[in-house]
Amino acid sequence: MPTVVNEYPFSQVDVFAPGPKAGNPVAVVHDADGLTTEQMQSFANWTNLSETTFLLKPSHPEADYKLRIFTPASELPFAGHPTLGSAHAWLEEGGQPFRNGELLQECEAGLVKIRRAGTELAFAAPPLIRSGAVEPEALAQAIASLGVDAGQVLGSNWVDNGPGWLGIRLESAEQVLELQPDFALMDQLCVGVIGSYAEGGPADFEVRAFVPGLSVPEDPVTGSLNAGLAQWLVGEGVVRGDYTVQQGTVLGRGGVVTVSVEDEDIWIGGTSRAVVSGRVSI
């Protein structure tokens, strides 16, 4: 039998990109309820972006839409920049949220709150599914793969909200920028590294995200990692209020992430812009 090909509305959105330097793109397929999991994964592999998402009708009565998120290799229960980029695409395609100024996304990780503030969107960091001290063997593997000495590590923690993040804190943004990871040694670990800028720097922190096991050696700008890092650093008192993150510098990107601490919520935000729109055949 011939293969059935259907057309779907399509967007490609640049996320965490406030200026002329690009942030992190996400491919978004709208009205994707008719696609199988296999078709979604195959298309995500073809786009070869860090994530491709599919907007579907929600099953939860309070959600505005349901989102499925795929890397080139596998599906994720949650990811940050796809959440913001997909919300932006859904709104531009005419989506009308149930609540004024706030969207509610349904995904495998549960319900995620998203709010609009001017040109920015921000999501409330979902609960961590794994936190606390990193086992010595995993920590030693992560440190060795980063090529740093154990004495340079100021702290470590599991900060996993879906992708499997292991967080490492170094003293300075310069140390983060100088990293040259050994991805073969890193293997299946998903490692996020953060270091602070001196006063007057381009941001408060520099972050890098390494995910070789998901076919994304280095992710340009990462919402889920920044959410987990914020929950860890705020929880330990390393940071006590709002801050900014620069990410993607080594890759030639200009990603800027805003972190806002409000009561019990930590909001991860940035600017999103649709750069491609049309229809795609799948």
Contact 177, 147 (CB under 8 A): no
Residue 125's contacts (CB-CB under 8 Å, 6 or more residues apart) are: 161, 227, 228, 230, 231, 265, 266, 267, 268
Q: Tell me 104's DSSP state.
A: E
Active site residue 51: yes
The dihedrals phi and psi of 106, each to the nearest 5 degrees, come to: -95, 130
Distances (CA, A) of 170 to 58, 82, 236, 238, 268: 41, 27, 15, 12, 21
* CA dihedral over 33, 37, 39, 44, signed as positive or negative: positive
Catalytic residue of the set 7, 51, 93, 102: 51
Query: Residues with catalytic annotation?
Result: 51
